[in-house]
Amino acid sequence: METKYKVLIVEDDPLIRQIYTERLSADQDIDVFTAEDGLDGLNKIKEQKYNLIFSGIQMPNKTGFELFQDLQNDVELSNIPFVIFSHLGRVEDIQTAKELGIDNFIIRGSTTPDEVAMTIKHIISKHNMFESLAIKQYKILIVEDNSEIRATYRDRFVQSPQIIVEEAIDGLDGLNKIKTNKYDLVFSGIYMPNQTGFELFQEVQNLVDKKDIPIVLFSHWGRPEDIERAKELGVKYFIIRGQNTPNDIFNQILSILSVNDQMYKLVIKKDSLDYSKFVARFYPNYIIENLDNDDISVRVILSENSKPFKFFIELDDINK
C-alpha cells in the first residue's frame, strides 16, 4: 500500500522516539522516519522530502529551535510543517517558539500519543489543502520557427509544475492559436516565416479580448533597430537571449506573470457620481470633449500584498 505522509521524528531520547514511532506507524497513512538529533535531522531532510517534521527541543549537536531556523533559511525547505514538542512546556520555550514563528507547539505531558497523531494528520492535511490552492498554473505559448530553440525553452519551462507549454511554429500559427485558446503569456521570437513577432504583436493588440495578454519578444543579439522597433510598437517585454540564460528568462517570465496576476481592470460608468470629478481631475479638456458616452477604464495594480493592501492605478489609453 502506498504511504501518503512521511513524518520525520527528531529526538535524541530513544524511548521517546520509539513511543511516537510505534503510535504514528499504526496509522496506515503515515510512514515514520527518525533522526537522533537536530544535525542528523537536517541531513536527512536535505536528502528526502517529508510532509512534516516532529521535533524535540534540547538535543546534542543541534536543538529543535536551531533545526527550525536552518530550514527557514532554505527556500526549498522552509515550507515544511514543523511541530515542536516539549515534555513540560516551559514558558521560555513557548515564548521562543512564538518569536521564531513556530505555529505548532505540543506539550507531551498534557497530550497523549493518540492526540499527537490526530494533530499531526490535521496539520498535514491543512497544509496540503493550502498548497494545492496556492499552486496556480499558467499556460504559455512559445512562438518560434527554430525547433531547437523551442525545445530549449519548452524543456526549461515545463520543469515547473506551474507552467503548461504549447508551441507555434511561426507568427501566423501563433496568431491562430491565440485566437482559439486562452494563454497567460506569449513568448515569441521575432524573425519567422509567414508572420514576424512584431506583426504578431500588432495583430494581438487588435483583438479586443486578447490584447492584454503579456507578449514577451526575444531576440538573440538584440539589434538596436529591433529594440527601437519594439519601443515604437509599445512592446513592454523585450529579452535578449544572448545576455540571459534559459533560467534567467524563466525567472523573468515568472515575475511578469506574478505582476499580471495582481492587475485588475475597473470601469467607471458614465452615470456614476464620481465620473465627472474623476475625469476633471485626471484628463485635460481636449480629451474630455471627445469622450462621448464611453466609460473610463482604470487599471488597478496590487503593489503590496501584505495587509493593509496597497494599490496604485494606471489610466488606460483613453483614445484606444
The CATH number linked to 37 is 3.40.50.2300
- Report how far residue 178's alpha carbon sits from residue 246's, in angstroms, rounded to the nearest whole number: 23
The answer to whether residues 86 and 200 belong to one domain is no
Among 134, 160, 189, where does a domain finish?
134
| 96 within a domain of the structure (yes/no) | yes
Q: Is 258 left (phi over 0), alpha (psi -120 to 50) or beta?
A: alpha
Among 134, 161, 182, where does a domain finish?
134
| 320 within a domain of the structure (yes/no) | no
Q: What is the pTM of this model?
A: 0.47
The answer to whether residues 105 and 158 belong to one domain is no
From the centroid of its chain, how far is CA 299? 22
The answer to whether residues 129 and 231 belong to one domain is no
| 31 within a domain of the structure (yes/no) | yes
The answer to whether residues 123 and 96 belong to one domain is yes
Q: Which residues pair with 9 in a beta bridge?
A: 34, 54
The answer to whether residues 216 and 272 belong to one domain is no
For residue 283, the model assigns a pLDDT of 58
Among 91, 115, 134, where does a domain finish?
134
The answer to whether residues 290 and 238 belong to one domain is no
The answer to whether residues 12 and 119 belong to one domain is yes
The answer to whether residues 90 and 164 belong to one domain is no
Contact 12, 37 (CB under 8 A): yes
| 81 within a domain of the structure (yes/no) | yes
| 277 within a domain of the structure (yes/no) | yes
The answer to whether residues 269 and 252 belong to one domain is no
For residue 318, the model assigns a pLDDT of 42
pLDDT in tens, the chain (320 residues): 355 789 999 999 999 999 999 999 998 889 999 999 999 999 999 999 999 999 999 999 999 999 999 998 887 788 899 999 988 778 899 999 988 888 889 988 788 888 888 889 888 887 776 655 455 788 999 999 999 999 999 998 988 878 899 999 999 999 999 999 999 999 999 999 999 999 999 999 999 889 889 999 999 888 899 999 999 999 989 999 888 888 888 888 888 887 655 556 666 666 666 666 666 666 555 445 555 555 666 666 665 555 555 666 655 544 44
- Report how far residue 104's alpha carbon sits from residue 101's, in angstroms, rounded to the nearest whole number: 9
Reference 145, options 191, 203, 199; nearest CA is 191
The answer to whether residues 104 and 11 belong to one domain is yes
Specify the number of domains making up the chain: 3
Query: Which DSSP helix (H) or strand (E) runs through 252?
Result: helix 246-261
List the domain range (segments joined by +) for residue 223. Answer: 138-261
Torsion sign (Cα): 153, 158, 162, 166: positive
The answer to whether residues 174 and 272 belong to one domain is no
The answer to whether residues 240 and 270 belong to one domain is no
Which residues, in sequence order, are CB contacts of 203 under 8 Å at separation 6+? 171, 175, 195
